[in-house]
A and B are shown apart, each in its own frame.
Chain A
Amino acid sequence: MKNIFKILIITLVIGSLISCNSKDSRNYEYMPNMYRSIPYDTYGEYDNFVDGNSALIPPEGTIARGYSLFEFENNTAGYELAKKQLKSPFTSSAEVDIKTGKELYNIYCAVCHGSKGAGQGILVKREKILGIPSYSDVGRAINEGSIYHTIYYGKNSMGSYAGQLNEDERWLVTHYVLKLKSDLEN
């Protein structure tokens, strides 16, 4: 008799514990010190950072490993200078991995510029963003320097993609854009 009641009570308590599990909060942990890392977690909030924010911008004047200095300025003059002077590090077309360039282009650029570069990406077709020019636009007459400069800093309504693509990837995309441009022109 007493047994039954005890078992019933235990079952009820367990049942209520399980049912109390809310979608908004995390579940229990056995041993939190094995779950939580002692070193800083990516995107963690820690007191010794400003506002506790560990996602920081590199200090001014430093260059991250694997990156190099980009000396062209983020303005119209810098754009014109890049158009004239900036050359791709890939000297022969054999070095260019067009396949990777295409993959990256389709991830980052095709939403607006379209998979053919004619400015007919899905966001344009759905009229979310308008006025994306074709790569073959004569008024812009883009070349490798200007394409790279635009990817690096953005231009007009386009934002910078330097955070999403590293230096090599930017050049791969640049070469793929050039390929699309010549396809469009022919």
Chain B
Amino acid sequence: MNKKYKKVDSKFYLIKNSKFFPCISLGKLLLPLAFIFTISSFGQDADPVKGKALFNSNCAACHKLDKKMTGPALRGVEDRLYNDEGLDREWLYKWIRNSSSLIKSGDDYANKIYAEYNGAAMTAYPQLSDDDLNNILAYTAQEKPAPVIKAVEVSPTGGNTSNGISNEIILGVFAFMFLLLSLGLFVVNKTLRSFAAQNNIQLPTKKKSTRKPLWKAFVDNQFLMLCSAIIMLLVSAYFVYGFLMQIGVNQGYEPVQPIHYSHKIHSGDNEIDCNYCHSSARVSKHSGIPSLNVCMNCHKSIYEYNGETTEEYSKEFYDAEIQKLYKAVGWDDESQEYTGETQAVKWVRIHNLPDFSYFNHAQHVSVGGIECQTCHGPVEEMEIMYQYSPLTMGWCINCHRETNVKVKDNQYYEKIHEQLSKKYGVEKLTAAQMGGLECGKCHY
């Protein structure tokens, strides 16, 4: 039997190489293949572990086992095709290796599925051998693992430990005893006093002090008063100055955003470059807030969170945030289609310079080669984004005084660098020496 199949396969190779090579719908091919594996005796030697590796490297871009993606879900694909369509593993072989030739040959099911997925052609996989395909099909034939039931966590503060008495009851008993004791003391005190009154015993009373109170002595001393008044004035002046200087400074501003976007997960854990999302920082004044299609570049495939979680930020929490994204961008995850119903996401702007000062991202990022973190802080560690730097003029100026301009390999700076370094008698010029302190550079 095997021989027979091989013959068929080689035939298809020829066809593919000569004509249909470029475009074959992988999804379609894979589906039938998977089915074949499960049912038949072919599957005996197939190794689902190897199949998983092959599946992940070749098929997973468009297929998931239990979820429709670019192509259909593939769990039990071989059984399904065999039972529903009467197609065998051989059909799957043909489909996976070259779906377009199968479609062109007029095969009913091939054309049906091609139409169902709007003519998205599955890539051809002529390089996969029978064994490879058998392994992949063995992998898709595996039963869905039962969801792991989480063990009920025993809270350490809860009282249902060995003695069976909750902390609250113990506390309640203590409180009750304390109440009884204080009541007892009160009663004893009252009784003793009434005894004293009956027996005409004079209880000692407090003597009135004739000493001058401390505060009065202090107020009477003119010199001390003057000194303390000066100190108080200076201290309050310090605080008033501090208060006035922080007006308009938003350092530490950490607003709640409409979608909880974690920079820690994206740029920290997954090491996505800042410029990936903030793509206009390279070329424009603004760093750019990514439009939602940038999110969907990845989140078309990533529909759930599988990373580390904490009590506050659980998997359910993150999954709900991804759903918020889908809702805003109008993505129906079930049918893998855009619905066209979109909602604007009103991100809250964090970094905002006043209108009277000019700042250009491209100038700093592309020309200056400044790391984003220099101004924005350790963004890759921020679960919630906040303003790291004060963004005050003093802060800008300070950096301009300390930072050497990158002039290497930059012809624009060659001449001016030569002249200015002669003027200042230095090897390396700071931004300030190149005019980075001039008012008109930022205020005009």
Contact = CB atoms under 8 A, between A and B. Distances in A.
B248 A29 contact: yes
Interface stretch (B118-126, B142-150, B174-182, B317-325): B118-126
A107 interface: yes
Contacts of A122: 270-271
A186 interface: no
Interface in A106-158: 106-108, 111, 119, 122-123, 126-133, 137-141, 154, 156-158
A111 B270 contact: yes
Most buried by B among A27, A106, A156: A156
Given A45-B346, A130-B60, A157 B300 contact: yes
B127 A37 contact: no
A131 B62 contact: yes
- Chain A, interface size category, equals 35 or more
Contacts of B249: 27
Contact of A129 (B58, B239, B273, B302): B302
A1 interface: yes
A163 interface: yes
A27 B246 contact: yes
B56 interface: yes
A128 B406 CA distance: 37
Interface of B: 21-24, 26, 55-63, 69-70, 119-121, 123-127, 219, 228-229, 232-233, 235-236, 239-240, 242-243, 246-250, 252-256, 269-273, 275-276, 279, 283, 285-286, 289, 291, 293-294, 296-298, 300-302, 306, 344, 346-347, 349, 354-356, 386
A63 to B, nearest CB: 18
Of the candidates B60, B228, B297, the one having the most CB atoms from chain A within 10 angstroms of its own CB is: B297
Interface of A: 1, 3-4, 7-8, 10-11, 14-15, 17-18, 23-30, 34-38, 42-43, 45, 51, 53, 55, 75-76, 79-80, 83, 106-108, 111, 119, 122-123, 126-133, 137-141, 154, 156-161, 163-166
Contacts of A76: 23, 119-121
B229 A4 contact: yes
Contacts of A43: 286, 289, 347, 349
A30 B245 CA distance: 10
A78 to B, nearest CB: 11
A109 to B, nearest CB: 10
Given A18-B242, A35-B356, A45-B346, 10 more contacts: A4-B229, A11-B239, A35-B354, A76-B120, A126-B270, A128-B302, A130-B301, A131-B58, A139-B21, A164-B294
Interface residue SS majority, chain A? loop
Given A3-B229, A55-B291, A122-B271, A30 B123 contact: no
Top 10 A-B pairs, shortest CB-CB distance: A131-B61, A131-B60, A130-B60, A159-B297, A37-B355, A164-B279, A139-B124, A35-B354, A156-B70, A23-B254
Contacts of A28: 247-248
Contact of B294 (A23, A38, A106, A163): A163
22 contacts: A4-B229, A10-B236, A17-B243, A23-B252, A25-B255, A26-B250, A27-B249, A34-B354, A42-B286, A76-B120, A76-B121, A80-B22, A83-B22, A108-B279, A123-B298, A127-B56, A131-B58, A131-B59, A133-B58, A139-B21, A139-B126, A164-B294
